[in-house]
């Protein structure tokens, strides 16, 4: 659900001093990209109005996106890469002006990688409701004020509808492949079910056929942590001075989420019962290294994300049910005509492997005879972002001629 950052790549409690200095001071009221900020590698598509599944509409939708490679004259080499909850369009590239973090999947997308821009035209949008250039709660509404608490409820299907509008704008009639993990995997599934004639290949990584009660419960406490922050101000906090937005609640939600993204054995092996400060636990006043790790990432997160977007996107994940109004999960999966790959992670406690087994069993054109590929990794749910060699090999198999 989260992308890998350099300090997450190895089991270490330490990060560079330069990174630490960048996190000093009060967080902003919102970490969203705003008009007037450096554009970086983003492009923007103005897509017009969008009617929403649960009623209501957005009068004007913008999707930020990035591309790599060149589109063939016949448009047959386009690959859609869909990010997870806290990701964005910056799949490949360094951190810098406009991009608070480096690319989140550079081990899978890039020259010589599984998704090679020398062969494929790769498109990665920031999803609708996000906060890195696409229309979301931090965007300006028609009255010139941020949407804030007025932003409408979105579903996964609404986000896919916006992506379909982007594909139309780019002149892409059919995707050679749609690839997504976690929340992006939910969207990839919806693409293949709702638009089977537009998806030739499908890769679903660490995603379920529907969000269950356990996942919804985990999401609900994260959302409540944000709403209980006095700085949340009912969702209308954008004019707050730095240090007075809902950063404490957002950081706490992030800390809760991280516990679901990693496996208990990985945290135990990395941190054991070590103390970050070196102070004896018997003397008091010390901080366990795992507490320091969570605190660091909570603080870092508030500087690149928006609390309202987090709530909107979590609600969209909770809406996920491919069988809704389609006669159930199996009937929905029968609509998929794409050559399909389903990947699960044996240590994933957020979206466990049984969910991927249900998906794989219902796909008529799976690569593996109705079974998912199960990756063995200590990294839990985040393995689909960290285990580049294992994941890349599977995605490459799907994209083989």
Question: 308 or 285: which carries more pLDDT confidence?
Answer: 308
Give the count of alpha carbons within 13 A of 111, CB side only: 1
Catalytic residue flag (residue 365): no
pTM for the full predicted model: 0.93
Query: Which residue is catalytic, options 2, 88, 158, 348?
Result: 348
What pLDDT is attached to residue 281? 52
CB 204 within 8 Å of CB 356: yes
Pick the catalytic residue from 30, 89, 182, 347.
Answer: 182
Catalytic residue among 306, 381, 382, 388: 381
Q: Per-residue pLDDT tens for 59-83?
A: 999 999 999 999 999 999 999 999 9
> Is residue 381 annotated as part of the catalytic site, yes or no?
yes
What would the pLDDT profile of 180-195 be if each residue is shown by its tens digit? Answer: 999 999 999 999 999 9
Whether the predicted pLDDT of 295 surpasses 50: yes
CA atoms within a 13 Å half-sphere pointing along the CA-CB vector of 161: 15
- Higher-pLDDT residue of 10 and 296 is 296
* Domains by residue range for the chain, with CATH: 6-399 (3.40.50.1820)
Q: How far is CA 225 from CA 137, 250, 253, 296, 306, in A?
A: 18, 7, 6, 17, 14
Could you confirm whether 247 is annotated as catalytic? Answer: no
Q: What is each CA distance from 400 to 46, 189, 367, in whole angstroms?
A: 34, 20, 11
pLDDT of 326 strictly over 50 = yes
């Amino acid at each position: 659900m989260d992308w890998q950052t350099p300090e997450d790549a190895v089991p270490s409690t330490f990060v560079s001093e330069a990174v630490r200095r960048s996190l000093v001071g009060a967080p902003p009221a919102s970490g969203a990209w705003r008009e007037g900020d450096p554009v970086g590698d983003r492009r923007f598509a103005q897509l017009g109005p969008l009617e929403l599944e649960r009623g209501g509409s957005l009068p004007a939708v913008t999707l930020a996106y990035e591309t790599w490679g060149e589109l063939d004259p016949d448009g047959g080499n386009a690959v859609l890469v869909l990010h997870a909850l806290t990701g964005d369009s910056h799949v490949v590239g360094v951190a810098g002006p406009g991009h608070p973090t480096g690319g989140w999947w550079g081990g899978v997308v890039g020259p010589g990688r599984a998704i090679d821009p020398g062969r494929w035209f790769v498109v990665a949008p920031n999803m609708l409701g996000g906060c890195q250039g696409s229309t979301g709660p931090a965007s300006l509404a028609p009255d010139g004020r941020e949407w804030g608490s007025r932003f409408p409820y979105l579903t996964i299907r609404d986000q896919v509808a916006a992506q379909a509008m982007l594909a139309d704008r780019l002149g892409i009639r059919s995707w050679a492949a749609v690839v997504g993990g976690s929340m992006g995997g939910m969207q990839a599934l919806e693409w293949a079910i709702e638009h089977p004639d537009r998806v030739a290949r499908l890769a679903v990584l660490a995603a379920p056929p529907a969000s269950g009660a356990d996942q919804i419960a985990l999401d609900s406490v994260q959302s409540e942590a944000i709403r209980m922050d006095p700085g949340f101000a009912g969702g209308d906090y954008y004019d707050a001075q730095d240090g007075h937005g809902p950063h404490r609640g957002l950081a706490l939600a992030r800390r809760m989420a991280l516990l679901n993204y990693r496996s208990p054995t990985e945290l135990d092996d990395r941190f054991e019962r070590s103390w970050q400060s070196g102070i004896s636990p018997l003397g008091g006043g010390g901080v366990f290294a795992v507490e320091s790790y969570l605190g660091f990432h909570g603080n870092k997160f508030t500087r690149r994300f928006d609390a309202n977007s987090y709530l909107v996107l979590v609600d969209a994940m909770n809406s996920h049910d491919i069988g809704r109004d389609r006669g159930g999960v199996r009937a929905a999966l029968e609509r998929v005509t794409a050559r399909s790959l389903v990947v699960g992670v044996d240590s994933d406690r957020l979206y466990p492997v049984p969910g991927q087994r249900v998906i794989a069993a219902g796909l008529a054109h799976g690569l593996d005879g109705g079974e998912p590929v199960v990756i063995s990794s200590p990294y839990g749910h985040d393995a689909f972002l960290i285990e580049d060699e294992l994941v890349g090999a599977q995605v490459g198999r799907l994209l083989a001629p």
